[in-house]
Amino acid sequence: MMSKYNNRRQSLNGFTFDSQAEAHRYTELVLRERAGEIHGLRVHPSYVLQESFRDSSGKLWAPITYVLDFSYFEGEGLVCEDVKGFRTSDWRMKQKLFLKRYPMYTLRIVDV
């Protein structure tokens, strides 16, 4: 069955990537890390955009998280990457919330 955006999942080095483009970017980043250009490469890091909370009726709401494709240190700064072939409204909202909450990090969008 094809996915919603016609991408194909791909497994590589024990990770499952949502698309071939994301897997390709992973191999590029691994080579950059081996060359010493970046360090601390993480795959699918998760960032909390809003903590969980209880509303006035006592219902517990789950936190809102943004799972990026990669993060790594370039020099002394943390770079967070998201490989995108299609930008959804949900993604745009998470991008804004991430930029507001984590202004100390660089958010890089890698367009396919």
CATH class of the region 14-111:
alpha beta
- pTM equals 0.84
Cα–Cα dist 50/1, whole Å: 33
C-alpha count within 13 angstroms, C-beta hemisphere, residue 70:
27
Q: Quick: pLDDT tens for 55-87.
A: 999 999 999 999 999 999 999 899 999 998 778
- Mean pLDDT of all residues in the chain? 91
- Tokens found for residue 99: 């930029």
Residue ranges per structural domain of the chain: 14-111
